[in-house]
Amino acid sequence: MTTESAGGAEPLRVALIGYAFMGAAHSQAWRTAHRVFDLPRTPEMTVICGRSAEATAAAARRLGWSEWATDWREVIARDDVDVVDICTPGSSHAEIALAALQAGKHVLCEKPLANTVQEAEQMAAAAAKAAGRGVFAGVGFNYRRVPAVALAQRLVADGRIGEIRHIRALYLQDWIVDPDYPLVWRLQKDQAGSGALGDLGAHIVDLAQYVSGQRLTGVSATMETFVRKRPLPAESSGLAAAGDAGAGDGEVTVDDAAVFFGRTESGALATFEATRFATGRKNAMRIEVNGSSGSLAFDFESMNELHVYDGSAPGADAGFRRILVTEPDHPYMEGWWPPGHGLGYEHTFTHEIAEFVRDIASQRQPSPSFADGLAAQRVLDAVERSAADSSRWTNVATD
């Protein structure tokens, strides 16, 4: 028999694996989602897991978890855990997710889904099999949960901009411009899988496919590593601060930037840029979709706004219209503030968790699913293969 939490909703007992940047973002969402939205099950922050006992214990106190542990295998074996939320480097995603699904736990896994297509295929197959037992899995593409992005997707699906002809997406950061920034795990292929391509490119590939409703079928790509050796970090976990280095240098084994273009299944053209070397850009993520009868443009630096162009308007009145996406009937806004009071980055994770909980409670496949994560992974793989083959046109694998 399952106990009920305060308010009468059946609890959903959560284990979080990882406590750094994404662990903190997910923790905030697990704390908040049921206090903002009327959810059919109430998340309970049961246990957080990390490798360092001291750091994990401190994270449990700071982030609001009831218990802490250092062995994820013991955590997923617990009877008082319903969901395993994976916020570790990509090198461990597949092992943890596969074990958790086998143990009958629902899984939420951060993006990119895995470090390789082979791992992602295994994870997607395991998730499909688990769904037959009522065990579900989702992947954390949080930018889908920006209200303005969700509104853009809705407008495209409703045919408001007509036939899709162009997609432009870019994600610009500058946090490793300094060549003395240490060699953290995100710069090592065996842990991160790829660099800007997987870290940033995965987001804009997923957004392009989500907003347009179309999959990419082929790409031509170029990738570059601008700083090939960096100081070894004093410790290798998380994002170190510039200058926090140990003795000696190590080799950077991932890309610093990736630029590629592609085509969708309908023949639309798409261009992408993902870089950690856009000096002055901290988290500039943008997407524009041009259709036969209109266009949509979104810039995360103005995340509460969506710009819409209606191609049917008279020329004298034509122009992009700015929509402030804060009305109660806009996506996700019913639980928040009065119109005009904007949301922030952390709210995307709250919306992600709310959707995930609703899906689990309704016994339906969460979206984005592991299959969606695999679709993005296949694009990233095609980009890497194209870049390694003198930018040759490379088809994206399908089922």
What is the per-residue pLDDT across 100-142, written as a single tens digit (0 to 9) for each? Answer: 999 999 999 999 999 999 999 999 999 999 999 999 999 999 9
The pTM assigned to this predicted structure is 0.93
pLDDT of residue 230: 97
Q: Is the pLDDT of residue 247 over 80?
A: no
What confidence tier does 168 reach under pLDDT thresholds 50, 70, 90? Answer: very high
Cα–Cα distance measured from residue 205 to residue 379, given in angstroms and rounded to the nearest whole number: 8
d(C-alpha 363, C-alpha 357), whole Å: 10
Vertex 119 angle, CA 110 and 361, to 5°: 45
Model pLDDT, residue 233: 87
pLDDT at 323: 98
Enter the CATH code of domain 10-142: 3.40.50.720
Compute the distance between CA of residue 66 and CA of residue 46 in angstroms, rounded to an integer.
Answer: 5
What is the average pLDDT across 357-386? 98
264: β partners: 216
Averaged pLDDT of the chain? 94
What's CA 11's distance to the chain center, in Å?
25
Predicted confidence (pLDDT) at residue 234 exceeds the cutoff of 80:
no
> What CATH number matches the domain at 145-344+369-388, 3.30.360.10, 3.50.50.60, 3.30.930.10, 3.40.50.2300?
3.30.360.10
Domains 10-142 and 145-344+369-388 agree in fold: no
Please write the tens of the pLDDT for every residue from 310-351: 998 888 888 999 999 999 999 999 999 999 999 999 999 999
pLDDT of 315: 86
- Domains of the chain: which residue ranges? 10-142, 145-344+369-388
Q: Residue 8's pLDDT is what?
A: 60
| pLDDT above 70 (res 246) | no
pLDDT digits (tens, 9 = 90+) for 302-320: 999 999 999 988 888 889 9
Output the pLDDT for position 241: 45
- The per-residue pLDDT for range 11-56, each reduced to its tens digit, is 999 999 999 999 999 999 999 999 999 999 999 999 999 999 999 9
Cis peptide before 368 (omega within 30 of 0): yes
- The number of C-alpha atoms within 13 Å of 340 and in the hemisphere containing its C-beta is 0
Q: How confident is the model at residue 242 (pLDDT cuts 50, 70, 90)?
A: very low
∠ CA 31-171-329, nearest 5°, is 50
Q: Give residue 399's pLDDT band: very low, low, confident or very high (50, 70, 90).
A: confident
Residue 187 pLDDT more than 80?
A: yes
Residues 294 and 302: their CA atoms lie apart, in Å, by 21
- In which band, very low, low, confident or very high, does the pLDDT at 9 lie, cut at 50, 70 and 90? confident
